[in-house]
Amino acid sequence: MNYTEEVANKLNELLEKNYDAEAGYKLAKEKVDSKRLKGFFENQAQERYDFGHELKNEIRSYGVSPDKGTSVKGDAHRAWMNIKSTFTSDNEESMLEEAIRGEKAAVEEYNTIIADMTLPPSTNSLLTKHRDNVQTALNKVSAMESIA
């Protein structure tokens, strides 16, 4: 596999995870009653949607077709969120916990790709921006959980 394909494959993995995060945030929005949390989850879903479009454009710049859907692992995680919300008395806390888990994993994934690869400046800048936004969301959701 050449360098271009390797970078494009890593970007496609991030794209798939952003699809998963978008779908997870949409599900979380449906599982909570708090208008504040609904708004937060909706904003995060939109941000991940936007990240997806940015990643698709970057992937195409490498001459590769972007992936089109969520992952099996992400689908299983959302099924777990549904089950957990059914049997948990505090949906808000459980949705916040799942958001924290997902955001921590996303920050790690972005950090790994940024650190492990010599990326062109445009790709590095895009991934750094995404990672920083995810870290900000992680900080917010962690603060919300601590007062929930």
For the chain, domains (ranges, CATH) are: 3-147 (1.20.1260.10)
Cα–Cα dist 28/91, whole Å = 9
Give the relative orientation of helices 35-61 and 3-31 as an angle to the nearest 10 degrees.
160
Tens digits of residue pLDDT in 17-51: 999 899 989 988 988 999 999 999 999 999 999 99
What is the predicted pLDDT for the residue at 134?
98
Q: Classify residue 2 by burial, with Cβ atoms within 10 Å: 0-12, 13-18, 19+.
A: exposed
Q: What is the mean pLDDT of the chain?
A: 86
User: Are the beta carbons of 60 and 23 closer than 8 angstroms?
Assistant: no
